[in-house]
């Protein structure tokens, strides 16, 4: 377990980070790396985190944009759209009125 204690320096609160279940080989490598740089394990962990988090953050694109970018080199495909037909009237079944369903419901509710 590696623990970074909090301190207060020039009125700025510094958080605490505890890392549990750290693999022994990883902890050993951190200890060796810290010793090679004449630092404590905690300071070495802080430096590693600082360096990792100072890298520029790449903008996250949505899935559609990522797919489009992946296939952009293949060129764009434009498909011709077929003209739509006019909307048909709904079928009228035997024993039902020719009125649309909403009007038929209103007519039935008025008969009560």
Assess if residue 11 is contained within a domain: yes
Q: Is residue 83 part of a domain?
A: no
Q: Is residue 95 part of a domain?
A: no
| Residue 33: strand, helix, or coil | helix
Asked if the structure places residue 78 within a domain, the reply is no
Asked if 44 contacts 33 with a C-beta cutoff of 8 angstroms, the reply is: yes
Tell me whether residue 34 is in a domain. yes
pLDDT value at residue 40: 94
CA-based nearest residue to 43, from 3, 76, 74, 91: 3
Burial of 103 (0-12, 13-18, 19+ CB in 10 A): exposed
One digit per residue, pLDDT tens: the chain, 112 residues? Answer: 555 555 544 577 888 889 899 999 999 999 999 999 999 999 999 999 999 999 888 888 899 888 888 888 888 778 888 999 899 998 888 876 655 556 555 555 555 4
- pLDDT on residue 8: 47
Residue 49 included in any domain? yes
**In which domain, by residue range, is 34 found?**
2-53
pLDDT at 51: 92
Predicted pLDDT of residue 73: 87
Neighbouring residues of 112: CB distance < 8 A, sequence distance ≥ 6? none
Question: Total structural domains in the chain?
Answer: 1
Flag whether 40 is in a domain. yes
Residue 78 sits at φ, ψ, to 5 deg, of: -110, 120
Tokens representing 95 are 């024993």
Assess if residue 74 is contained within a domain. no
Predicted local confidence at residue 33, as pLDDT = 95
């Amino acid at each position: 377990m590696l623990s970074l204690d909090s301190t207060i320096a020039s009125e700025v609160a510094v958080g605490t980070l505890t890392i549990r279940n750290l693999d022994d080989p990883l902890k050993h490598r951190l200890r060796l790396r810290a010793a090679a740089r004449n630092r404590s394990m905690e300071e070495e962990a802080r430096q590693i985190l600082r360096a990792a988090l100072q890298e520029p953050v790449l903008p996250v694109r949505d899935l559609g944009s990522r797919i489009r970018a992946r296939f952009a080199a293949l060129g764009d495909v434009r498909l011709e759209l077929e003209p739509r037909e006019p909307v048909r009237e709904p079928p009228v079944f035997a024993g039902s009125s020719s009125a649309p369903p909403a009007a038929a419901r209103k007519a039935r509710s008025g008969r009560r």
